[in-house]
Amino acid sequence: MKQNPWHQALEQLDQAARIMNLDPSVHEVLRFPKRTLEVAVPVRMEDGNVKNFTGYRVHHNTSRGPSKGGIRYHPDVHLDEVKALAMWMTWKCAVVSIPYGGAKGGVVVEPKELSLNELEHLTRRYASEILPLIGPERDIPAPDVGTDEQIMAWIMDTYSMNHGYSVPGVVTGKPLSIGGSAGRAQSTARGVMYVTVATLKHLAMPVDEARIAVQGFGKVGGPAVELLAEQGCRIIGVSDHLGGVHNPRGLSPVGLAAHHAETGTIAGFEGGVPITNEELLALDCDVLIPAAIEGQITEANADRVQARVIVEAANGPTTPAADEILHDRGIQVVPDILANAGGVAVSYFEWVQDLQAYFWSEHEVNARLRRVMEESYIAVLDLAEDRKVTMRQAATILGVSRVAEAHTTRGLFP
Ligand code: NAD
């Protein structure tokens, strides 16, 4: 059975707190989300009937700044998942030193089953219901699983209509035409690429021809395949929710993208043999990149992983029990709160550009992103080596200690 992600997140926090001797009164505060909102989202469907969807928005912590986090549209969304994702956002923003707290939102819905009209109405109603929690100084949503830049545009418009003027800084991951940032669409994947290359170099493994397997071919997995192939890596396996494909000699990134654009999935791509998601996770490769959803590498399959390195592009893909098995087997795990932080880093750049109404070139965005990722990677690696802990423990300790410092400096209200 899949582990509850909130329990997973708490276990990671508790473990870091033990190792770092965290002040128990700060630990107590960090174990609870600051605010949790559940909303009803009624939508008139194309057949004339009204259907209700349940939505959430959670702020985990705002000690370091306004909260930041994506919005997920997925049938399996539940409150504990949103709480876990919000907590991970708090640590992630702190790990890459950007002045945000952590938040997350979600709606229990399969967006692929809605018409465009239904999707717009659902989004605008959900945005209206969470309006008291969001705003450029308060909480800034972004895309996540099942949401995209069009959905961000509708949220930005709904918020702006309520205020009577355009407020581009209320969401990130927007289209360029309404205040989006150059480089945002590929930023998470680009960050994953930078830390993958840094890890290979650190382990003295050649980047050229490094054999990579990627689970998930969405906004993160798709561009990750393209960017890693550009670095000379060999993509030997890819999968999505409908299945996967394997070719030890390498899959064509261009062919995969074209097949996905045409069919909406990489299943059925003819450049290799069909495999299941379980088989993808156990492929003989150098780097495994889970880029789909949480709870994929568990105690049930961790002993079958053959990769030397796991770079977590998805949030929470590895359970704590699996972490232990991977550690004992000498498999390096580059944790989500470091590996996929490129998205929130460029979201921060987008927000800064919106607030100043002054926009940067893609080259400038990518150069700044690279610096953030490489410096954060070194900070986590140094701490891991110093304290003799795993990269996940080091990243969590770094994130928690920065949040704890801000919390303690501000003091407990009232
Ligand atoms: P997406 O909706 O664009 O793509 C998700 C991909 O995962 C799709 O290819 C889908 O087919 C696949 N998938 C879904 N369920 C699956 C399953 N059970 N087995 C195998 N594949 C499955 O989402 P995304 O934005 O690419 O996000 C992917 C992951 O990256 C999530 O964990 C998300 O939280 C994380 N993330 C995303 C961003 C971002 O900027 N979009 C930033 C940081 C982290």
Instruction: Region of 213 please: left (phi>0), alpha (psi -120 to 50) or beta.
Output: beta
Question: Which amino acid residue places its CA nearest to atom 29 of ligand 1?
Answer: 314
Please, are residues 317 and 281 in contact by the beta-carbon 8 Å criterion? no
* Residue 217, both tokens: 């071919």
Question: Tens of pLDDT along the chain (414 residues)?
Answer: 678 999 999 999 999 999 999 999 999 999 999 999 999 999 999 999 999 999 999 999 999 999 999 999 999 999 999 999 999 999 999 999 999 999 999 999 999 999 999 999 999 999 999 999 999 999 999 999 999 999 999 999 999 999 999 999 999 999 999 999 999 999 999 999 999 999 999 999 999 999 999 999 999 999 999 999 999 999 999 999 999 999 999 999 999 999 999 999 999 999 999 999 999 999 999 999 999 999 999 999 999 999 999 999 999 999 999 999 999 999 999 999 999 999 999 999 999 999 999 999 999 999 999 999 999 999 999 999 999 999 999 999 999 999 999 999 999 999
Residue owning the nearest CA to atom 43 of ligand 1: 340
Q: How far apart are CA 45 and CA 187, in angstroms?
A: 35
CA of 10 to the centre of ligand 1 (A): 22
Residue carrying structure tokens 């400096």: 409
**Pocket of ligand 1, candidates 71, 241, 338: which has the most ligand atoms within 8 Å of its Cβ, to mutate?**
241
Cα 288 to Cα 310: distance, rounded to the nearest angstrom: 5
The helix (run of H) or strand (run of E) holding residue 55 is strand 50-61
Gap from CA of 161 to ligand 1 centroid (Å): 30
DSSP string for residues in 272-303 = SEEE-HHHHHT-S-SEEEE-S-SS-B-TTTGG
Q: Is 52 exposed, middle or buried (0-12, 13-18, 19+ CB in 10 A)?
A: exposed
Q: Whose CA is nearest to atom 18 of ligand 1?
A: 241
Between the CA of 231 and the centroid of ligand 1 the distance, in Å, is: 22
In angstroms, what is the C-alpha Rg of the chain? 20
Residue 143 CA, closest ligand 1 atom number: 41
Place of tokens 């993808």: 280
Q: Which residues of 345-379 are buried (b: 16+ CB within 10 A; e: fewer)?
A: bbbbbbbebbeeeebbeeeebbebbbebbeebbeb
Active site residue 68: no
d(CA 186, CA 226): 10
At residue 63, the 3 state secondary structure works out as coil
**CA 310 to each of CA 84, 110, 159, 334: distance values in angstroms, whole numbers, following the listed order:** 21, 29, 39, 6
Task: Please name the amino acid found at residue 355.
Answer: L
> In terms of DSSP bridges, do strands 67-74 and 50-61 run parallel, antiparallel, or are they unpaired?
unpaired
Whose CA is closest to 383, among 395, 367, 370, 371?
395
Gap from CA of 113 to ligand 1 centroid (Å): 17
pTM to 2 decimal places: 0.96
Other residues' Cβ atoms within 10 Å of the Cβ of residue 198 = 19
The DSSP secondary structure of 377-393, one letter per residue, reads HHHHHHHHHHHT--HHH
Catalytic pick among 68, 92, 104, 174: 104
SS3 68: strand
- From atom 32 of ligand 1, which residue's Cα is the shortest distance away? 314
pLDDT at 1: 62
